[in-house]
Structure 1
Amino acid sequence: MVYGQAMSERVRDDIGRLVHRGMPVEAYWRAVSDALDAAVPSEGSCLMTMDPATMLPTAEFVENGLPADSISRLVEIELREPDYTKWVDMARAGTAAASLSHVTAGDLDLSRRQREVRRPGGYSDELRVVLSSSTGTWGALTVFRETDSPYFSSSEVRLLSSLTGLISDGLRRALLLDDACADRPDTGMLVLDPDDGVDLANREAEQWVDELGVGERAGTRLPLVIRSVASQARAIAAGERIADVGLARARVRTRTGRWVIVRGSLLGEGPLAPVAVLLEAARPAEMAPLLADMYGLTQRERRVTELVAQGLPTRQIANQLHLAAYTVQDHLKSIFAKSGTGSRGDLVARLFFDQRATSLTAPSATPDD
């Protein structure tokens, strides 16, 4: 099936509103699966959450999936044996979505998990989506079809690939909401009424508000960034186009110099529904695009910097970007001058504090948190 712009925008708007709905992980997954099924029909789906440091699965939510006694073999293949479209391989290659039928050219049994586990279980093609952000891979989504169903088309793969940023952002919000409700440290949560009055605040949120400050305007109760993000969440929930209003999310520096990510999600429906505002310390990789903006790096310079952070030498950078080696050197000189650094190591340390490369050129709707 070939999808037009209207279909893509409708699905994006539907999922964008779900992202800002303030749901726990399982409810979010079920709602996203329902929204996707209208455009990309499937017989089942599975969401796995992952530890971003190791990409090891931490929990799974399955609808119409394989029986439990088959899962251990799937996990063994995923973690220890070669196969097609493994999560780690997709994340490393920067592949947002892929179908098994495409990567095997239609011969699904080339996949070990397909011939040993999935086909005997009555399943055919699967479409895998890596839910990554600039802070790591937080989860993975699989939609799958049974034996008599058609393979996923290239347009269906492209559609899910284009939605990865939104779906990832919603998963990160759901995980943070679960953390805040479980009273885990470092995740602040405020629940605001329609007039931005505070109905609920955990200790971490109160600390972030104190650190952000409310300014000197008389009668101000909350930092401007929190009120702005809450307003954005209400606008999105009211049906305003995502492309027009953007995501309800902002990065801001506190008075002590720390950076915090602020996210807003509506808890319920209707104009009187409260808004949950989540506050989390910005991770180093999240700040790289912002620092690139501050230094005034051009798009080409950002791409060169990404490849430098991946450890590529000048000649390989030149080959990837179809440039002459001396042109890459000229870009590097400009990057060093703008960033105030004197070597590749200094540059990576300044932009990617934890030595991890992230995308400096991805659009803002691409996973960020």
Structure 2
Amino acid sequence: MVYGQAMRERVRDDIGRLVHRGMPVEAYWRAVSDALDVAVPSEGSCLMTMDPATMLPTAEFVENGLPADSISRLVEIELREPDYTKWVDMARAGTAAASLSHVTAGDLDLSRRQREVRRPGGYSDELRVVLSSSTGTWGALTVFRETDSPYFSLSEVRLLSSLTGLISDGLRRALLLDDACADRPDTGMLVLDPDDGVDLANWEAEQWVDELGVGERAGTRLPLVIRSVASQARAIAAGERVADVGLARARVRTRTGRWVIVRGSLLGEGPLAPVAVLLEAARPAEMAPLLADMYGLTQRERRVTELVAQGLPTRQIANQLHMATYTVQDHLKSIFAKSGTGSRGDLVARLFFDQRTTSLTAPSATADD
């Protein structure tokens, strides 16, 4: 099926509203699955959350999936044996979405998990989506079809590929909200009424507010960044500023020098719905793009740095970026000079701290080479 612009925008708008609803992970997955089913019908779906540092699965939510006794074999294949469209391989290749039928040219049984587990269970094609953002890979979504159903089309794959950033942002928010409700250390949560009055705040949120400060304007109750993020979350949920969907967040430095990420999500629907605002210390992976901006790295230098952080040697970097090895070396010299580092290890430690590879590119990044 070929989708027109109106269909793509409808699905994007529907999911954009879900991103800012402030739902827990399972409810978010079910709502996203329902929204996607309008354009990409399937017989079942599975959301798997991951540790962004290792991409190891941490939890799964399944509808009409395989029985539990089949999962151990699937996990074994995924983590230890070669196969098509494995999550780690897709993430490393920068592939946002792929169908098994496309990568096997229609011969699904070339896939080990298909012939050993999925086909005996009555399943045919599957469409896998890596849920990655600038802060890492937080999960993966699979939609699948049963035997006798048509394979996923390339237009369906492209549609889901175009939605990965948006769906990833929603998953990240859902995970943060779950963590905050579970009293995760250092994650603050405020619930604001329509007038930005505080209905609920945990102890961590109060500490972040004190550290941010409310300024000197008389009558001010909350830091400007919190009020701005809450306002943006309401605007997005109301269908305003559609182009900015996914950006109800801000990165700000506190009076003590720490960086904090502030995110807002509407809890429910309508103009009277409260807004949940989450505050947490910025992780190294979230600071990497900002540091790249500060050092003035060009777009090409950012890509070289990302591949360095993945441990690739110069020749492999050159092959991936379609450039000569001496050009890669020239870029590295420039990167070292701009960042004040003297080796690859120093560079990765400076930008990523915990050695976690992330994307340095951002919409505001310089586009020159």
Quickly name the TM-score band, shorter chain normalised: over 0.9
Residue correspondences, number: 369
Change (3 A) 1:118 1:171: same
Cα distance, 1:310 vs structure 2: 2.7
Evaluate the alpha carbon distance shift between residue 326 and residue 294 of structure 1 in structure 2; reply closer, same or farther with a 3 A threshold: same
CA contact (8 A) 1:78 1:86 kept: yes
CA 15–83 in structure 1, closer or farther in 2 if over 3 Å, else same: same
Conserved 8 A contact 1:132-1:367: no
Q: Which residue in 2 is equivalent to 1:209?
A: 209
1:318/1:108 Cα in 2 relative to 1: closer, same or farther (>3 Å)? closer
3-state secondary structure, aligned to 2:190: strand
TM-superposed deviation, 1:365: 13
Conserved in 2, the CA contact under 8 Å of 1:286 and 1:368? Answer: no
> More displaced, 14-23 or 176-185?
176-185
Deviation at 1:308, TM superposition (A): 2.7
On the 8 A contact 1:165/1:366 being kept in 2, the answer is: no
Poorly superposed stretches of 4+, deviation over 6 Å: 364-369
- Per the TM alignment, residue 345 of structure 1 is displaced from its structure 2 partner at its CA by 2.9
Q: Quick check: 2:308–2:344 contact (8 Å CA) kept in 1?
A: yes
- Local SS of the residue matching 1:270: coil
Distance 1:58 1:303, change over 3 A: closer
Tell me the alpha carbon deviations over residues 237-262 of structure 1, each in whole angstroms, 9 at most, x when there is no partner: 10124314652111111112211111
Do the aligned partners of 2:253 and 2:260 also contact (CA within 8 Å) in 1? yes
- SS across alignment from 2:195: coil
CA deviation string 1:165-196 (max 9, x = no partner) = 11111111111111111222121100000111
- In 1: Cα distance, 2:85 partner to 2:217 partner: 54
* Contact 1:301 1:335 survives alignment (8 Å): yes
Mark the CA change 1:193 to 1:91 in structure 2 (over 3 Å): closer, same or farther. same
Comparing 329-338 with 273-282, greater Cα deviation is found at: 329-338
Q: Which residue of 1 aligns with 2:149?
A: 149
- Per the alignment, in what secondary structure is the counterpart of residue 271 of structure 2? coil
Quote the Cα distance in structure 2 between the aligned partners of 1:242 and 1:148.
Answer: 39
How many angstroms does 1:363 deviate by?
A: 4.1
- CA deviations over 1:292-350 (Å, ceiling 9, x no partner): 11222221222222223233344443333333444333333332333233333332222
Residues 364 and 30 from structure 1, CA distance in 2 versus in 1: closer, same or farther, beyond 3 angstroms?
Answer: farther
Distance in 1 between residues matched to 2:97 and 2:108, nearest whole Å: 17
- Residues 125 and 336 of structure 1, relative CA distance in 2, 3 Å threshold: same
CA distance 1:42–1:332, change in 2 (3 Å): same
Measure the CA separation in 1 of the matches of 2:177 and 2:357.
27
Q: Is the 8 A contact 1:247 1:365 kept in 2?
A: no
C-alpha offsets along residues 249-288 of structure 1, whole Å, 9 cap, x if unaligned? 1111111221111110001111010000011111111111
Question: Could you tell which deviates more after superposition, 1-10 or 35-44?
Answer: 1-10
Q: CA deviation at 1:368?
A: 22
Find out whether 1:259 has 2:238 as its counterpart.
no
Question: What does residue range 5-44 of structure 1 map to in structure 2 within 5 Å?
Answer: 5-44=5-44
In 2, Cα distance between equivalents of 1:357 and 1:57: 18
TM-score (norm 2): 0.93
Greater Cα shift, 344-353 or 7-16: 344-353
> Partners of 1:70 and 1:114 in 2: how far apart?
12
Partner of 1:91, secondary structure, is: helix
State the distance in 2 between where 1:120 and 1:51 align.
30
35 and 365 in structure 1: CA distance in 2 versus 1, 3 angstrom threshold:
farther
CA contact (8 A) 2:300 2:368 kept: no
Deviates more, 1:160-169 or 1:241-250: 241-250
Point out the more displaced range, 167-176 or 5-14. 5-14
- Calculate the aligned-residue CA RMSD, in Å: 3.0
1:343 aligns with 2:361: no
Please give the per-residue CA displacement for 1:187-230, whole angstroms capped at 9, x wherever unaligned.
11000001111100001111111111111221111111111110
CA drift at 1:74 = 2.2
